[in-house]
């Protein structure tokens, strides 16, 4: 009884908050298993009477969700890898090297985050059209990097400046070059920052809709957010397909987060405090 009075209310509150947060996800999953008649009932059921998996086979077939899933992965994975590599090296240079007007350069990098995406769509479209990158994976990756790299630089720099310089000096004394010390000593120690940067970059590229809608003008290269939006019509919405596609849409991010949750949370909190 004493334990319940001291700690029990904390577990009750945690369960209540968890149930409140997870219920929308639960409802999306069960709705994807319902028939059309069950979806449009006046009183929604919290469990389907006859669970059906036909929605998933239908969206993978006629809905082209499988192709869109592959397109999203083809775009999000290179964006993440390039962003981590470029941001890591740029952050190291801004944290360790004596660069003229370093503070001004940092402020200019931060200023890029102040422009709304809508303002930059037309200039980006003109640049991509002149470079013949409209409708290509490369064009969309470059566009995503323009928005993800500046934020990643700030996050990574917040980690690198907290690492003692004596560690890389010791590595350079043992014969390593500055580049070797960066890749062998500094970046491995800044692992949580790399994970946080990779996670934010992947999620941003995975969820992006407006640039993909503007640049991808062919059905074969549409990403998953575009295919998900295609199930929503003016007269009717295919809610079964929307819910099934939403489950497929969320799975890669959920798996990515579950695999890296410890290092991700450490990286995000440390970057916020030390930056």
CA distance 170 to 148: 33
Average pLDDT of the residues in 48-57: 83
Q: How far is CA 5 from CA 11, 12, 15, 193, 253, in A?
A: 11, 11, 16, 39, 38
Q: How far is CA 201 from CA 85, 132, 217, in A?
A: 12, 25, 24
Q: pTM, whole model, 2 decimals? A: 0.82
User: 174: how many CB neighbours lie within 10 A of its CB?
Assistant: 9
Q: Is the CB of residue 121 less than 8 Å from the CB of residue 210?
A: yes
Choose between 102 and 25: higher pLDDT. 25
What's the pLDDT at 264?
62
DSSP 185-224: IIHHHTHHHHHHHHHHHHHHHHH--HHHHHH--SGGG--H
The pLDDT of residue 275 is above 50: no
Confidence of residue 265 (pLDDT cuts 50, 70, 90): low
What are 78's two structure tokens? 């290179």
DSSP annotation of 78 reads H
Q: Is the CB of residue 148 less than 8 Å from the CB of residue 201?
A: yes
User: 140: how many CB neighbours lie within 10 A of its CB?
Assistant: 28
Alpha-carbon dihedral sign for residues 122, 123, 129, 135: negative
Confidence of residue 130 (pLDDT cuts 50, 70, 90): very high
> Which residue do the tokens 């934010």 mark?
200
Q: How far is CA 246 from CA 20, 228, 240, 260, in A?
A: 19, 7, 10, 22
* Domain residue ranges of the chain, discontinuous segments joined by +: 1-52, 65-274
Q: How far is CA 52 from CA 30, 34, 56, 244, in A?
A: 10, 6, 9, 11
User: 142: how many CB neighbours lie within 10 A of its CB?
Assistant: 18
**Average pLDDT along the chain:** 84
Average pLDDT of the residues in 172-189: 84
pLDDT > 70 in the chain, percent: 92
The pLDDT of residue 271 is above 50: no
Average pLDDT of the residues in 181-207: 86
Runs of H (alpha helix) within 5-64: 9-32, 36-39, 54-61
DSSP 215-257: H--SGGG--HHHHHHHTB-SS-B-HHHHHHHHHHHHHHHHHHH
Average pLDDT of the residues in 72-89: 92
Superfamily of segment(s) 65-274 = MetI-like (1.10.3720.10)
Residues contacting residue 178 through CB under 8 Å, at least 6 positions apart: 168, 172
Average pLDDT of the residues in 62-88: 90
């Amino acid at each position: 009884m004493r334990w319940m009075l001291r700690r029990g209310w904390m577990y009750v509150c945690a369960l209540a908050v968890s149930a409140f947060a997870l219920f929308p996800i639960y409802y999306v999953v069960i709705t994807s298993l319902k028939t059309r008649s069950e979806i449009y009932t006046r009183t929604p059921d919290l469990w389907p009477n006859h669970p059906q998996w036909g929605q998933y086979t239908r969206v993978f077939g006629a809905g082209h969700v499988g192709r869109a899933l592959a397109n999203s992965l083809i775009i999000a994975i290179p964006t993440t890898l390039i962003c981590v590599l470029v941001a890591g090296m740029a952050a190291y240079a801004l944290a360790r090297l004596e660069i003229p007007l370093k503070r001004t350069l940092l402020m200019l990098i931060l200023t890029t985050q102040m422009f709304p995406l809508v303002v930059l769509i037309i200039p980006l479209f003109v640049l991509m059209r002149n470079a013949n990158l409209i409708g290509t994976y490369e064009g969309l990756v470059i566009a995503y990097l323009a928005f993800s790299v500046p934020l990643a630089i700030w996050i990574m720099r917040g980690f690198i400046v907290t690492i003692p310089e004596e560690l890389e000096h010791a590595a350079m004394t043992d014969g390593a070059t500055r580049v070797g010390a960066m890749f062998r000593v500094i970046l491995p120690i800044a692992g949580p920052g790399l994970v946080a940067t990779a996670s934010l970059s992947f999620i941003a590229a995975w969820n992006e809709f407006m640039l993909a809608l503007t640049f991808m003008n062919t059905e074969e290269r549409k990403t998953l957010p575009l295919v998900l939006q295609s199930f929503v019509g003016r007269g009717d919405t295919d809610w079964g397909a929307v819910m099934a596609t939403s489950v497929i849409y969320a799975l890669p991010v959920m798996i990515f987060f579950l695999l890296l949750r410890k290092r991700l949370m450490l990286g995000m909190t440390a970057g916020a405090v030390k930056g």
